[in-house]
Amino acid sequence: MAGTASEIDLDAYCERIGYRGPRVATLPVLRELQRLHPQAIAFENVDPFLGRPVRLDLPSLEDKLVRSRRGGYCFEQNMLFWKVLSGLGFQVSGLAARVLWNYPEGAVNPRSHMLLRVELEGATWLADVGFGGLTQTAPLRLGTGAAQETPHEAYRIVEEGDHWRLQAEIGGEWRSIFRFDMVEHLEVDYAATNYFLSANPASHFVTGLLAARALPGRRLSMRNDRLTIHEAGKLSRQKHFDSGGQLRASLAAEFGIDVPEPERFDERFRALGFGESRG
**Which of 1-10, 44-53, 92-101, 176-185 bottoms out in mean pLDDT, i.e. has the lowest?**
1-10
* Spatial contact of 138 and 58, defined as CB atoms under 8 Å apart: no
- Does a structural domain hold residue 245? yes
* Euclidean distance between CA atoms 214 and 198, whole angstroms: 23
- Does a structural domain hold residue 171? no
- Out of 14, 47, 74, 225, the active site residue is 74
Catalytic-residue membership of 128: yes
- Does a structural domain hold residue 256? yes
Write the Ramachandran bin of 126: left for phi over 0, alpha for psi from -120 to 50, otherwise beta.
beta
- Does a structural domain hold residue 222? yes
Q: How many domains does the chain have?
A: 1
Task: Identify the CATH number of the domain in which residue 231 sits.
Answer: 3.30.2140.10
For 182-206, how does the pLDDT look when each residue is reduced to its tens digit (9 = 90+)?
999 999 999 999 999 999 999 999 9
- Out of 37, 113, 152, 230, the active site residue is 113
> Given 3-state DSSP classes, what are the helix, strand and coil percentages for the chain, each rounded to the nearest 5?
35, 25, 40
- Does a structural domain hold residue 38? no
For 77-109, how does the pLDDT look when each residue is reduced to its tens digit (9 = 90+)?
999 999 999 999 999 999 999 999 987 777 788
Count of Cβ atoms closer than 10 Å to residue 224 Cβ: 18
- Does a structural domain hold residue 246? yes
Catalytic-residue membership of 74: yes
- Out of 128, 152, 225, 230, the active site residue is 128
pTM over the 0.85 mark:
yes
Task: Supply the range of the domain harboring residue 262.
Answer: 203-271
